[in-house]
């Protein structure tokens, strides 16, 4: 069961509310907290712009939402529509506030109550939304390496598509949730060059983008990738791993462009010729994400919904994990690439409450 983590902000909010006699001081403290939260959002946005479909609900009232959810859960047959309507239209921060309000109200844990009231695909979506993006990613990684056999596809999708900042947060949360190191779990569940690549990514040693374009280094890396692969017999995978796990994304975009002047094949074609299996899938995912991460997710969604017996797990994971990150941009890439909107595609390939929840997260038709 997911715990609701009380952050320093909640402790600050608690402190602010403790002394009711100092009302004005409390108000100014609340204003400070609000300003602090505003700055954090701003600073996070500065590194990588976000394109969310789920944004903070205006006129947000956690007590009112908690009361409505309580009624929805108690209703005979459960009022799923109200639960969907509230939780898919609130940000993670707001959902936590609702959970705290629910607990104050009912003396019960809201996540356990939702677990008991919901089932199937809808339950998976709603419980996923009750985790932060990093908690959700960490749980998905844990699920993909737990038990017999590894779900390499999920592991590749998450570890090869997340930024440095996201990976560092995932590692921290993974340790908090499971009392284990992500590196050790990944190493224990994968092998060979595939394991080496994933572990290099988990180290999160990728250089940050620089304002200076180093043309010499771009040329050097492009030539090194060519000489380590297409030019020789066999592949020097170690060189490929170090370049692809340590260089910044803008640098690599220029490297892949330059690479074409050395190799008769582009980077993706070279990968297909040189390596196979999970290693091939991982390198391809990396290159696709470096070139256009939102297009990568759009293609994943399209393939998952078009496949026989729609790969629900993939669809759910992308919709839940990206709705507060870049789902709006994924939507526009989807429309360009597939000639049909993501909204219409979800409507065609899913049904029931699960469909309602996904369409609400999608946030509109294009």
**For 322-332, how does the pLDDT look when each residue is reduced to its tens digit (9 = 90+)?**
999 999 999 99
Output the pLDDT for position 363: 97
Lowest-confidence region among 58-72, 239-253, 300-314, 337-351: 300-314
What does the pLDDT look like over 142-200, one tens digit per residue? 999 987 788 999 999 999 999 999 999 999 999 999 999 999 999 999 999 999 999 99
Question: In the chain, what percentage of residues exceed pLDDT 70?
Answer: 87
CA distance 201 to 239: 14
| Structure token pair of residue 213 | 């374009």
pLDDT score at 338: 96
Q: What six digits make up the tokens of 133?
A: 């993006």
User: What is the reported pLDDT for 37?
Assistant: 47
Which pLDDT value is given to residue 30?
53
DSSP state of 364: S
Tell me the three state secondary structure of residue 12.
helix
Note the pLDDT of residue 7.
45
Q: Give the tokens for residue 37.
A: 């939260």
pLDDT of residue 317: 98
Whether the CB-CB separation of 24 and 135 falls below 8 Å is answered with no
pLDDT of 40 strictly over 50: no
CA distance 68 to 62: 10
The yes-or-no verdict on residue 101 having pLDDT over 60 is yes
Q: From the centroid of its chain, how far is CA 289?
A: 13
pLDDT higher than threshold 70 for residue 226: yes
Residue 274: pLDDT above 90?
yes
pTM, full prediction: 0.86
Angle in degrees, 0-180, between the axes of helices 249-259 and 215-228, rounded to the nearest 10: 60
pLDDT for the residue numbered 254:
98
Residue pLDDT, tens place only, 64-83: 999 999 999 999 999 999 99
What pLDDT does residue 49 have? 85
CA torsion 7-8-9-11 (nearest 10°) is 100
User: What mean pLDDT value characterizes the chain?
Assistant: 90
Instruction: Check residues 22 and 237 and name the one with the higher pLDDT.
Output: 237
Contact of 136 with 323, CB cutoff 8 Å: no
For residue 76, the SS3 value is coil
Q: For 245-252, what is the mean pLDDT?
A: 98
């Amino acid at each position: 069961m997911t715990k609701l983590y009380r952050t320093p902000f909640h402790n600050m909010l608690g402190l602010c509310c403790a002394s009711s006699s100092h009302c004005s001081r409390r108000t100014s403290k609340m204003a400070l907290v609000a300003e602090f939260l505003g700055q954090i959002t701003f600073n996070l946005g500065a590194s990588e712009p976000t394109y969310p479909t789920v944004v903070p609900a205006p006129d947000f009232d956690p007590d009112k939402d908690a009361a409505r959810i309580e009624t929805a859960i108690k209703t005979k047959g459960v009022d799923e529509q109200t639960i969907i309507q509230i939780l898919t239209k609130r940000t993670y921060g707001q959902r936590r506030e609702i959970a705290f309000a629910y607990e104050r109200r009912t003396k019960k844990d809201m996540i356990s109550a939702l677990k008991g009231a919901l089932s199937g695909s809808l339950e998976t979506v709603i419980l996923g939304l009750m985790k932060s993006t990093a908690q959700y990613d960490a749980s998905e990684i844990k699920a993909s390496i737990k038990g017999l056999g590894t779900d390499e596809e999920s592991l590749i999708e998450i570890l090869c598509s997340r930024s440095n900042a996201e990976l560092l947060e995932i590692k921290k949360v993974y340790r908090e949730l499971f009392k284990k190191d992500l590196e050790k779990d990944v190493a224990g569940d994968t092998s060979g060059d595939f394991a080496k690549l994933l572990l290099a990514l988990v180290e999160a040693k990728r250089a940050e983008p620089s304002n200076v374009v180093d043309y010499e280094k771009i040329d050097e890396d492009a030539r090194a990738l060519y000489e380590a692969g297409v030019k020789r017999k066999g592949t020097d995978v170690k060189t490929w791993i170090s370049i692809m796990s340590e260089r910044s994304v803008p640098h690599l975009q220029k490297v892949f462009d330059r690479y074409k002047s050395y190799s008769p094949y582009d980077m993706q074609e070279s990968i297909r010729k040189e390596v196979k299996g999970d290693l091939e899938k991982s390198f391809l995912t990396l290159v696709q994400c470096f070139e256009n991460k939102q297009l990568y997710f759009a293609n994943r969604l399209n393939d998952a919904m078009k496949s026989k017996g729609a790969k629900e797990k993939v669809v759910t994971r992308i919709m839940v994990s990206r709705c507060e990150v870049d789902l709006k941009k994924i939507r526009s890439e989807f429309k360009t690439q597939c000639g049909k909107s993501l909204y219409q595609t979800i409507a065609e390939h899913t049904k029931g409450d699960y469909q309602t929840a996904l369409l609400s997260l999608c946030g509109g038709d294009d």
